[in-house]
Structure 1
Amino acid sequence: MKNTIIKILLLSCLYIFTVSCVTPKTVIPKPPEVVIAPIIKPVFDDTYGFDSENQKKWVDSVYNKMTFDERVGQLFMVSAYSNKDSLHINSIDKLIQDYKIGGLIFFQGGPVRQAKLTNRFQSKSKIPLLIGIDAEWGLSMRLDSTYRYPWNMTLGAIKDKKWIEKVGVQMGEQSKRVGVHFNFAPVLDINTNPKNPIIGFRSFGEDKVNVAESALALMRGYQSLNLLATGKHFPGHGDTEIDSHAALPTISFSKERLEDIEFYPYKKLFDEGLASVMVAHLNVPSLEPKENLPSSVSHTIITDILKMQLGFKGLIFTDALNMKAAKNFRDPGEIDLEAFLAGNDILLCAENVPIAKEKICIAYQDSLITEKRLAYSVRKILKYKYKVGLNNYEPIPVPNIYKDLNTTANDALQYELYENAITVLKNKNEILPIKNLENNKIAYVKLGDDINSSFVTTLKKYTEVTEVFDENIDSLNVKLKNYDTVIVGFHKSDKAWKKYDFTDTELLWLQELAKNNIVILDVFTKPYALNTILNFDEIEGVVLSYQNSDVAQIVSAELLFGAIDAKGKLPVSINTNFKINDGLTTQKLNRLGFTIPENVGMNSEVLSKIDNFANKAINQKMTPGIQVLVARKGKVIYQKSFGYHTYENKVKVVNSDIYDIASLTKIVATLPNVMQQYDQGKVTMETTLGTMLPIFDQSDKKDISFKELLSHYARFEAWTPFYKATLDSSKFPLPKYYSKVANEQFSKQVADSLFLRNDYHDTIMKKIVDSKLILKKEYKYSDYTFIILKEYLERITGKTLDILVQEHFYNSLGMNNTTYNPLRKFNKYIIPPTEIDTYFRHQLLQGYVHDMAAAMEGGVGGHAGVFSNTMDVAKIMQMYLQKGNYGNRQYFSEKTFADFNTCYFCAEGNRRGIGFDKPQQPGAAGPTCGCASLTSFGHTGFTGTMTWADPETEIVYVFLSNRTFPGTNATNTLSKENIREDIQKVIYEAIVK
């Protein structure tokens, strides 16, 4: 019987040899498949064990039915591409069908193409193929249209390893979706050589403990989905200056050093169940005495050390056998045989499978390879095929692959990763975070050759930041003399192996900038770029953001302004300047930050329905343009603009445009100043109007209380068209009241080339004093309230309201896009027009307040006149939500906010708070969707604006538009169609926790 089996095996080897040697034109009929009798049970070293009896039964069953040819074929995992032509595809078909290969490692291509090819190749294989991919930072390392995670060195800066484990989980989910069972990650190399040309950023760092903990977290996450992770590159590729793709690197360390440092991560991961190891092509004299013998073919390194000494029982892969470090040692086929003899289980990227199988077959015939040795690797491979579910193989469902791979969960995690990774290395005089915005004129200077738009855009959302450029460093420094702080962003390409160092010119410029200015350097590239900076003494702040992705730029800007605190720790040393694990913590200021909805318990898909309502309003001409912002838990999660400035559709609305916010002025300008007066005890809820303003002391309004006044419960009329008394019979401004040019008597600008006489303000106030009170005491919304409060504030402070609100709030809040009379500061082309006035000013109103009474106050009204955008309005609403605190500055006490956010007359049917609008009472009409809590507050405006904040859900909502354009006589369909309220309803529907 034994002789019969040997003859059968020899026939199989002879057949393989014959097929590999014939010319392509020769056709040799394939003999019937020879099967080794199932009664033969090969000797098998079962020391690594099975996970279950079912697994063992499946392995035994499959192995015993396999031909010798099939068994040898299992040892090969060949390169496959989904971006190559039919010639390549057909060659893989042939390797599967004729040479029975056991697996594929996919390289470049696309996810749908790869999935389809995987299904094709699996259908042609008798035994399901093991599919691997080398995707250290996610599928995007190889596949287009997929998600890229940060480099390992970026992840190495994260101290809380739960975030890296989540990376592993998401990588695993994406691998499964495209039919991948193996990822050749994590990298366990300890990058102790900054000049390493091939590892570098692929390593978690140069500290063995950090590398082990980070890799272990990634492995746990990935293998939690019954997928297989691969530690590489054993015995350690971290300290080389040669790329093993090009030549054979030498590792000159002692065995003791290797065991202490390089082996450390492997030992930790072996204890936790690492599935596989990839062996590198390295010359390691202290481990392998044979000169220039690659570690990938060293029996000493693989069998004696990896298996026996370290006790590794998982799968062992060679590194790619088509790399020059391997090719230069042996020809194709010979290198494969030597690798198998050394103890590898799977021969990766074999260049010539037919020849390699021939060599192995002959070695088997010559008893260089025993049945026990072959069975050991093949059965181990089958064990892991069972582990990944190939015992119940099902084709990959192709529909929705792109959607499934690019979920919001990826973006959510990306924000968390950079929030935990970005590292502050220097913070002289606590320059970070940037605090006193009102006294800090900030410039931004770009170095590097890559994009910086997300960084600059986000910086400008916090305060006014001016981009300064000059081709001459001396001229640049002259321009920067007017600035208090200079942020220098160093932006290099985020592509893997792009050059990342500072140029000599950039180093000179940085030196000169630091010498002449207060500088914060923010580096958006690999940490080793800092090695070229020899002196950090004159740089006040150093921030390492690691990569130049959009999320890295956004999060780094957040850190600079204190929306998040610094948590990252340096994973490598930088010359003698910074050590491993350096990383300063910074103060967190409670300013608005940025993330995606899922990170604050909301659903992006639901929230995206806002687009439908906004587009409906645009398409049905309810308004030419719209801005919408949503924030939750201190993070902006939605900020979009829709439509155009006018119905001519020439200028698109962008987030930085500023709108006439109409009655939002009441709570954005007047109310916060009034709250400060209350906080200082200058007024109480019972203070009377006669006490506040002497002009009311002899009127029938003198006993109106502060509480009644701000609750719109003072029996005032809604409003008075003061402007009509200043027009002639043709409704044009009378020369008695207006001048086309400004002078000492006519200084209040009402519109372009139209100035009202200064003393008309007294006339307006007198008309309010003399106005009739409505007979019934009931809720009646009136502009008089805030016109009166403006008068009060200006008299008690001695400053006009526009100056007062800038000094007390806007400057320190970073509301640099918020102002009265915006044309004094901004170009009109960023201001959507509100109306073509045909009844008073007879011109296009663009940059001039729409409200007539506010216009007659020179654009500065207590009830209207402010121009702003959604981001700035959100800041002051967040300040209210934080009970008077923003940027760690207390503008008024929590008690004051609570007093003003109280509905004192709800029992009488008046929903109003003190200055704030409040949600409608059950069964009544009102300003909200009806879904906001009773503690919520906000306001709406005539031009089509709304802002609302809810302490219970921690939501801030801002809606701005110019629905009054081109004229106010049209039906207010924006209001009738409940667009603002329907959007608010969507926001609440998007809350998941």
Structure 2
Amino acid sequence: MQPKKILTCITIVTLSFIAQSTFAQKISLIKALNEPNHWVDSVFKKLNRRQRIAQLFFIRAHTNRGQAYEDSVGKVIKDEHVGGVVFFQGGPVRQANLTNTYQKLSRVPLLVAQDGEWGLGMRLDSTVSYPYQMTLGAIQDNNLIYKMGQMVAYDFKRLGVNINFGPVFDVNNNPNNPVINYRSFGDNKYNVAKKGIAYYTGMESGGLITIAKHFPGHGDTNVDSHFDLPLLAFTRERLDSLEQYPFREAISAGIGGVMIAHMSIPALDTTKNLPSTLSRPIVTGILKDSLRFKGIVASDAMEMKGVTKYFPNGEADLRAFLAGNDLIELSENSKNAEKLIRKAVRQGKISKEEFEAKVKKMLAAKYWAGLNNFQPIATTNLTADLNRPAAAELVQQLSDAAVTMIKGDSRVLRQNPLKRTAIISIGVEGQTTFQRELFKWYPNSQLFQVSKNAAAADLNNLLSTLKQYDQVFIGIHDSRLRPASKLDYSSDVKMLIADLAAKPNAVVSVFANPYAIAGLPGIEKSSALLACYQKDDSMQRAAVKVITGQQKPIGKLPVSINTFFTTGMSVSL
């Protein structure tokens, strides 16, 4: 038998409540979280202590793990009365159907969350991927990023998702950062703050709850907190002036949510091996008290080794709760954690007022998201709606605005279309969009592909063949799912790039993480060099537009690559 829904127990089907629901998103989330709310109070009174605690827990959900897994998640929702789910890999129609199923099982409507830093495509097939944040960091028109936020909000809301765990407000000033890197807007704290605020305000204007991450700043680490606990061994002054700056700006701008990182930060809390997520001096002392943040404080995933290594079996969740977190994401053992928290509440380890404020804050978020009047997700035309032409047009606009020329001039770019031309793509196995688009402008050309581990003999033959050509265009592609700081090319292929760059009138476009340029010595000798940030077709088309004079390169480097190419650099035409 399905549990009786609280939503139907409370008299909400009145004109006044419908009006309130319509009004909810006309005020900011941060304001809604801190105002009296009749619906919130009514739901709160209907919950017992166990159910109130459960409202703080968000559990993992997938649509690509089979029926047994989906049923097990449904059982937790029904039995434990958790506050929300976080969807990961799967497909949009499957997720919509499963969300409808899970909402039917839940006594209080669930908040549905997703990590979608570059849109639904970060997690789901058949959906749009917008550019990575580092690509956005090169864009000079922040209105485009605001517009992207609105588009992402439309996608999420259409799919029944209420929370985006993003944007990333970390300042990535460590090129070897294994976990943030291209997910950051760059290494300039002012640019990171402005871009992050533009993105989040766009999303919130579309009715999406956004969570800035990873406080107090995960950008200068060389350890991935998914696998171990990073140490941030900087002074408080440094952390305050650099890492925390974008978060302070976001809080001043009115952001409604902040996620805490799993990091050991001795300058802020000297407790050995204590992740920042579990530190009351950091979560409550700094974020809530010093920075006066009044929104949702979310933990990073509590199943990550950075937190469970020293605090297993629900102990981490208890400490996160006592530290000041409101939303406990992906508990390793939610059932045991809820028991530990119940005991702590009963023993008075947290004040009644603070405990109630946490629960009411999460209920107020549900109200702001419109869940007081939940409607099942309509799956008709869902995939078409999520892949509408306007989304593809914006992706291309963003890509066009990001291309950054870091060496060269228009004379070098726009070469003679009648001369024999070689168009080479490196790191690929077949023809690329870059090659096909350039071929339209250079009909007297030959296309060459070079795999990332090509044999030395084949590379020598290519160099010999290229002596017959007057000009050469080179695309360097990272074919991996995520663009790492170093290309996984063989040393022979990297030497080929240096040889090609040294040719007269060589134009090189790098469709990879901009940091990868530092690992290609000799590339700076090219006549023209374009930083294009990622492998996507839209970026390849954008590079061709710049090369052929259809568009000027207007992006600026969001990070320092080496002494040749530094933050803010660009060559204007």
| Shared fold, TM over 0.5 | yes
The alpha carbon displacement at 1:472 in A equals: 4.0
Residue 529 of structure 2, aligned match among 524, 539, 542: 542
1:89-117 CA-partner distances (Å, limit 9, x unpaired): 22222222221111111111111111111
Q: Following the alignment from structure 2 to structure 1, what is the Cα–Cα distance between the partners of residues 304 and 113?
A: 18
Counterpart position of 1:172: 153
Question: Is 1:520–2:507 an aligned residue pair?
Answer: yes
Where does 1:765-804 land on structure 2 (aligned, <5 Å)?
A: none
1:952-982 CA-partner distances (Å, limit 9, x unpaired): xxxxxxxxxxxxxxxxxxxxxxxxxxxxxxx
Residue 478 of structure 2, aligned match among 472, 480, 492: 492
Question: Is 1:263–2:250 an aligned residue pair?
Answer: no
Q: Following the alignment from structure 1 to structure 2, what is the Cα–Cα distance between the partners of residues 52 and 555?
A: 42
Q: Following the alignment from structure 1 to structure 2, what is the Cα–Cα distance between the partners of residues 176 and 105?
A: 14
Counterpart position of 1:954: none
Where does 1:600-619 land on structure 2 (aligned, <5 Å)?
A: none
8 Å contact kept, 1:83–1:108:
yes
Counterpart position of 2:441: 462
Q: Following the alignment from structure 1 to structure 2, what is the Cα–Cα distance between the partners of residues 49 and 423?
A: 36
Counterpart position of 1:418: 399
Q: Following the alignment from structure 2 to structure 1, what is the Cα–Cα distance between the partners of residues 330 and 390?
A: 33
Change (3 A) 1:190 1:225: same
1:336 is matched by which residue type in structure 2?
A: D
1:459 is matched by which residue type in structure 2?
A: L
Q: Following the alignment from structure 2 to structure 1, what is the Cα–Cα distance between the partners of residues 502 and 547?
A: 21
Where does 1:305-384 land on structure 2 (aligned, <5 Å)?
A: 305-384=286-365
Q: Following the alignment from structure 2 to structure 1, what is the Cα–Cα distance between the partners of residues 434 and 128?
A: 21
Question: Is 1:101–2:60 an aligned residue pair?
Answer: no
The alpha carbon displacement at 1:81 in A equals: 1.0
1:534 is matched by which residue type in structure 2?
A: P
Where does 1:33-52 land on structure 2 (aligned, <5 Å)?
A: 50-51=31-32
Change (3 A) 1:224 1:452: farther
Change (3 A) 1:196 1:271: same
Q: Following the alignment from structure 2 to structure 1, what is the Cα–Cα distance between the partners of residues 518 and 492?
A: 15
1:564 is matched by which residue type in structure 2?
A: Q
Q: Following the alignment from structure 2 to structure 1, what is the Cα–Cα distance between the partners of residues 483 and 59?
A: 25
Counterpart position of 2:559: 572
1:52-92 CA-partner distances (Å, limit 9, x unpaired): 99961111222122211211111101111112223322222
Where does 1:18-97 land on structure 2 (aligned, <5 Å)?
A: 50-51=31-32, 56-97=37-78
Where does 1:174-253 land on structure 2 (aligned, <5 Å)?
A: 174-253=155-234
Counterpart position of 1:790: none
Q: Following the alignment from structure 1 to structure 2, what is the Cα–Cα distance between the partners of residues 502 and 151?
A: 22
Change (3 A) 1:327 1:482: same
The alpha carbon displacement at 1:186 in A equals: 0.1
The alpha carbon displacement at 1:142 in A equals: 1.1
Consecutive unaligned residues in structure 2, runs of 5 or more: 11-28, 451-456
8 Å contact kept, 2:413–2:528:
no
SS at structure 2 position matched to 1:523:
strand
The alpha carbon displacement at 1:392 in A equals: 1.2
SS at structure 2 position matched to 1:542:
strand
SS at structure 2 position matched to 1:316:
strand
SS at structure 1 position matched to 2:32:
coil
8 Å contact kept, 2:483–2:512:
no
Counterpart position of 2:131: 150
SS at structure 1 position matched to 2:360:
helix
1:432-481 CA-partner distances (Å, limit 9, x unpaired): 4314434x432122321355421111101112222257954444333223
Identity of aligned residues (%): 39
Counterpart position of 2:427: 448
1:829-861 CA-partner distances (Å, limit 9, x unpaired): xxxxxxxxxxxxxxxxxxxxxxxxxxxxxxxxx
2:439 is matched by which residue type in structure 1?
A: K
SS at structure 2 position matched to 1:354:
helix
Larger mean CA deviation between 236-245 and 547-556 belongs to 547-556
Q: Following the alignment from structure 1 to structure 2, what is the Cα–Cα distance between the partners of residues 54 and 281?
A: 31
Counterpart position of 2:572: 585
Change (3 A) 1:507 1:49: closer
2:470 is matched by which residue type in structure 1?
A: D
Counterpart position of 1:747: none
2:51 is matched by which residue type in structure 1?
A: E
SS at structure 2 position matched to 1:581:
coil
Over aligned residue pairs, what C-alpha RMSD do you find?
Answer: 2.1
Q: Following the alignment from structure 1 to structure 2, what is the Cα–Cα distance between the partners of residues 362 and 169?
A: 42
1:308 is matched by which residue type in structure 2?
A: D
Q: Following the alignment from structure 1 to structure 2, what is the Cα–Cα distance between the partners of residues 527 and 469?
A: 21
Question: Is 1:138–2:124 an aligned residue pair?
Answer: no
SS at structure 1 position matched to 2:102:
helix
The alpha carbon displacement at 1:319 in A equals: 0.4
1:653-710 CA-partner distances (Å, limit 9, x unpaired): xxxxxxxxxxxxxxxxxxxxxxxxxxxxxxxxxxxxxxxxxxxxxxxxxxxxxxxxxx
Question: Is 1:482–2:471 an aligned residue pair?
Answer: no
Q: Which has the higher contact order (CA 8 A, sep 6+)?
A: 2
8 Å contact kept, 1:181–1:228:
yes
8 Å contact kept, 1:431–1:540:
no
Consecutive unaligned residues in structure 1, runs of 5 or more: 1-31, 39-47, 587-993
Question: Is 1:554–2:554 an aligned residue pair?
Answer: no
Counterpart position of 1:665: none
2:38 is matched by which residue type in structure 1?
A: K
More helix, by proportion: 2
8 Å contact kept, 1:501–1:532:
no
1:622-680 CA-partner distances (Å, limit 9, x unpaired): xxxxxxxxxxxxxxxxxxxxxxxxxxxxxxxxxxxxxxxxxxxxxxxxxxxxxxxxxxx
Counterpart position of 2:101: 120
The alpha carbon displacement at 1:375 in A equals: 0.3
SS at structure 1 position matched to 2:59:
strand
Change (3 A) 1:431 1:494: farther
Counterpart position of 2:453: none
The alpha carbon displacement at 1:536 in A equals: 4.3
SS at structure 2 position matched to 1:321:
coil
Change (3 A) 1:372 1:502: same
1:277-335 CA-partner distances (Å, limit 9, x unpaired): 11011011111111121000000110000101111110011100000011102112111
2:128 is matched by which residue type in structure 1?
A: Y
8 Å contact kept, 1:473–1:512:
no
Q: Following the alignment from structure 2 to structure 1, what is the Cα–Cα distance between the partners of residues 420 and 329?
A: 58
1:238 is matched by which residue type in structure 2?
A: G
8 Å contact kept, 2:502–2:522:
no
User: How many positions carry a matched residue from both structures?
Assistant: 540
1:289 is matched by which residue type in structure 2?
A: T
1:508 is matched by which residue type in structure 2?
A: M
Q: Following the alignment from structure 1 to structure 2, what is the Cα–Cα distance between the partners of residues 201 and 339?
A: 28
8 Å contact kept, 1:450–1:491:
no
Change (3 A) 1:450 1:135: farther
Q: Following the alignment from structure 1 to structure 2, what is the Cα–Cα distance between the partners of residues 128 and 307?
A: 27
SS at structure 2 position matched to 1:89:
helix
Q: Following the alignment from structure 1 to structure 2, what is the Cα–Cα distance between the partners of residues 343 and 560?
A: 52
Q: Following the alignment from structure 2 to structure 1, what is the Cα–Cα distance between the partners of residues 491 and 134?
A: 25
1:538-594 CA-partner distances (Å, limit 9, x unpaired): 3111111111111211121121110111101111111111110111122xxxxxxxx
SS at structure 2 position matched to 1:437:
coil
1:522 is matched by which residue type in structure 2?
A: S
Where does 1:714-863 land on structure 2 (aligned, <5 Å)?
A: none
TM-score, normalised to structure 2's length? Answer: 0.90
